[in-house]
Structure 1
Amino acid sequence: MHLVLISGLSGSGKSIALKVLEDANYYCVDNLPSQLLQQLVGQLDLQGYDKVGVVIDIRGGDSVAMLPLQLDALRANELDLQFLFLDAQDATLIKRYSETRRRHPLASDRLTLTEAIAEERIRLGE
């Protein structure tokens, strides 16, 4: 199975990358908690899928911190694993959020957009 795992900052283009994979006949899953990754891959392998794309990011909450362990486990299973981490400059992310008027997943009453982006960079550091 060829697995493309996409992660990165919110607003960096992960959904667009996933749509490109979907157009290339990949089975695609967005916003998967990382602890479900091995189970998903196992199930899709049993069903005969040979091309899979998955987005795991900060929307999955604290589970994103477990992603490095999940990647190690998958690499041990002889998968054709490709990891794509998307990033963008803060100014670009701020512009994208202002254009779409969507809320950053970490933005709240206590965090501004700029602070939320900085916090996400810290959490995704590994």
Structure 2
Amino acid sequence: MRFVVVTGMSGGGKRTALKMLEDAGFYCVDNLPVPLIEKFVELIATPNSEINKVALGLDVRADQPFEEVWKTLENLKKNGYLYEILFMDASEQVLLKRYKESRRMHPLSPEGRVEDGIHKERDILKTVKEHADYVLDTSNVLTRELKEEIDRIFVMNEEYNSLMVTILSFGFKNGMPADADLVFDVRFLPNPYYIDELKHQTGNDPAIQEYVMSFPEAEEFLQKLEDMILFLIPNYVKEGKYQLVIGIGCTGGKHRSVTLANELYKRMKNQGNYGLKIYHRDVKQGA
């Protein structure tokens, strides 16, 4: 039997993950009272049980100390019941935004500030996150991308990528991306915007790509950038980082940054044990 415990930060996507696991054939149960967890596992683990894939959702709740949940999980392991922990997470900024949009109160701060509830919850869940088999940070992940990752881990049983790398092109005139961990300015390269036949194309078009990459500085920049990032990634993983956003910016986010982001994506794809995606924030906003 495959037994997955789904937990994490409130607003991190736990219920969405449970729904996706249910669609993948898992028998899903959400928020059993703590005293019933061991009895539930004993029942589904009986030899004649027809259930072979189970997902159990566990939340931090004001009326149920999570320390008791962790003790119960430890007891299950001592008694020979194996399980995997899927921890759903997101940045504080994203969690606050989600709570504001949903107009919900935080379960640990029903009459106070949502920020206080998030801080309390993160502290309570610190131990379980450290012991999690999979940590999925949904801060910059689309629902489609989350489903692909869950299917990859729990349906296709592929190797888990602990770090998700996003290569993000943007235009400085539209503001710096608030979620970028690393930002690189490529405005040192000639701007195709000032060439009439190239002005209305983007870095997704071959003509722009050929123009930008025709300069030796572009190739040298990419080589140095790739070397540095491939050096940093295993060190970020070692320190427990789950999301890395690499921002590449030019003036308008349409030509140079898009071209170099695409080139970096090609070079980094299939290079190591990390997930990789690309996003062009300002490509439709002009140069």
TM-aligned CA deviation for residue 36 of structure 1: 1.9
Whichever residue aligns with residue 49 of structure 1, its letter is I
User: 1:22-71: per-residue Cα shift (whole Å, max 9, x none)?
Assistant: 00111111122333211111122344311110111112733421233222
Deviation by residue 1:65-106 (Cα, 9 ceiling, x = unmatched): 123322222223444411111221110000011111222212
Superposition map of 1:1-126 within 5 A? 1-46=1-46, 47-59=49-61, 61-109=63-111, 111-126=112-127
Pair 105,84 (structure 1): closer, same or farther in 2 beyond 3 Å: same
Instruction: Measure, in 1, the Cα distance between the counterparts of 2:58 and 2:33.
Output: 6
Contact 2:38 2:72 in 1 (8 A): yes
Name stretches of at least 5 consecutive residues in structure 2 with no aligned partner. 128-287
TM-score normalized with structure 2 length: 0.41
Moved more, 62-71 or 82-91: 62-71
CA RMSD of aligned residues (A): 1.8
Please tell me the residue identity of whatever aligns with 1:16: T
How many correspondences in the alignment? 125
Partner Cα distance (1:108, 1:90) in 2: 17
Q: Relative contact order: is structure 1 or structure 2 higher (C-alpha 8 Å, sep ≥ 6)?
A: 1
SS in structure 2 at match of 1:118? helix
Mapped to 1, the partners of 2:63 and 2:88 lie a distance apart of 18
Identity across matched positions, percent: 38
Instruction: Name the aligned partner's letter for residue 114 of structure 2.
Output: L
How far has the Cα of 1:13 moved from its partner? Answer: 0.4
The ranges of structure 1 where at least 4 consecutive aligned residues each deviate by more than 6 angstroms after the TM superposition are none
Matched letter for residue 61 of structure 1: D
Instruction: Determine the C-alpha separation between the residues in 2 that align with 1:49 and 1:77.
Output: 20
- TM-score normalized with structure 1 length: 0.87
Deviates more, 1:45-54 or 1:20-29: 45-54
Greater helix percent: which structure? 1
